[in-house]
Amino acid sequence: MPRRAVLLLLALAALSCRDVRQDRAPRSHASASPPPKPRSPCSDGGGSVADPRFPAWFPRRVGTFCLDANADLRLFGGEATLPLSEAAALLAVDTERIERSGLTRVVSLSYVEDSSEPARVGASVLGFTSAETAYAFFTARLADAAEVGHPAYTPFAAGAAGVRGDVTALVVRADQVLRLEYTNGRLAPERVGQAAAPALTLLGSEIGSALPGAATLPPAARLLPERERLPLSLRYDAGDLEGMEGVGPGAVAAYADDQRRYRMALAVRLDPDAAKDVLSTLRKREGSRVLKRAPYDALRVGEDDPKTGAVREWIFGQKGALVAGVALDAPPRAAPHGAPPERDAAILKLKRLLDGLPSAAAW
């Protein structure tokens, strides 16, 4: 083949390869717009509460959280379509406790974090028949946690009283208890509690302060001394103090001094006659006896511990409309024969307790 023909064929082949490469080269997308960013959960300020009774209870936005626009408010009990029994799983309590606690209504909704990977906080407000039954429920939950050692609650300022656990928080105000539960499935388990703490504290304070009613505790709980009291040991019994049938409601707390641990109890009645009836009821208990020469008409009363079967000995006395009691965790050594009852450590503590309490209805 002539040299010119060979060169012509090579040139044509080169042009053909260039066209193929150009056809296979990626097309430019310089004019295409970037994909839209995900919509913020709180871009419109959060959801809203349609029921006209509750908007003031739940702020639309609190810090980095807002009402979840995709989660409707749920109402249990009363005239609601959902029965109270269906709130048991939501509140992490059994149906039997709901029936005997004085709970009348539960309002539940949720908050969502304004984040690409949002956490959620379920918020439920429990309504009770009275401030006393609400506070009794609140302190019973603390007692349950203390008994099993989990969760370990930390107090914080919200409503009348507030506590925060690892992923839950409780706040009591008047006849209502707020329960919060934090969830975040995108965090490692060891980081969830750390992230939950500020969210629970902020939401608990904001919602707890927005709930209606006075932020005060029942008088018996308010009047028990704080000195030497063990943290979060205060319990209020809305039925019968320490389960002593017929005694009526009252508060009890655990204390410790340099020598021993002990308990103090207090019942507040409308007038001295009603308080005297409480003392009369205590005298009728098996094994109780009046102490001679003891202050405040003191008497010894035995109380059976339903869990251990052990008998705890209480010393009760009356001052005006108040009935107070002291029990030592370990019974004192017997006083020498003929020694005055004031030698008994429990009697001394009872005297100091009643001496320091107001005799008039100043509560």
CA distance 326 to 225: 12
- Mean pLDDT, all residues of the chain: 86
Are 169 and 180 in contact, with CB atoms under 8 Å apart? Answer: yes
Using 50, 70 and 90 to split pLDDT, how confident is the model at 185?
confident
Tell me which DSSP letter residue 348 carries.
H
Q: Does position 332 have pLDDT exceeding 90, yes or no?
A: no
pLDDT at residue 1, as a whole number: 52
Instruction: Write the pLDDT tens digit of every residue in 301-324.
Output: 987 766 666 678 999 999 999 999
What are 267-305's pLDDT values in tens digits? 999 999 999 999 999 999 988 999 988 899 999 998 776
68-97: pLDDT as tens digits: 998 889 999 987 889 999 999 889 888 888
Q: Where in the chain is the domain with CATH 3.40.1000?
A: 55-210, 219-356
Q: What is the pLDDT of residue 50?
A: 86
Q: For 64-78, 149-163, 245-259, 297-311, which range has the lowest pLDDT when averaged over its residues?
A: 297-311
Give pLDDT tens digits for 187-208. Answer: 888 899 899 999 999 999 999 9
Q: Report angle CA 172, 362, 239 to the nearest 5 degrees.
A: 45
Classified by CATH at the fold level, domain 219-356 comes out as Protein Transport Mog1p; Chain A (3.40.1000)
Q: Which of 186, 326, 346 is nearest to 242 (CA)?
A: 326
* Separation CA 354–CA 320 (nearest Å): 10
CB atoms under 10 Å from CB of 173, counted, come to 27
- Please give the C-alpha separations between residue 80 and each of 51, 151, 296, in angstroms, as whole numbers: 12, 32, 50
User: Hunting for tokens 């965790």 — which residue is that?
Assistant: 329
Residue percentage of the chain with pLDDT more than 70:
82
Inter-CA distances, 235 with 106, 129, 135, 195, 211, Å:
23, 18, 8, 29, 22
CATH class of 55-210: alpha beta
- pLDDT classification of 178: cutoffs 50, 70, 90: very high
pLDDT reading at 20 higher than 90: no
Q: What is the pLDDT of residue 207?
A: 96
Amino acid at 105: R
Q: What pLDDT was estimated at residue 116?
A: 78
What's the pLDDT tens digit per position in 22-56?
555 455 555 556 655 566 778 888 888 988 889 89
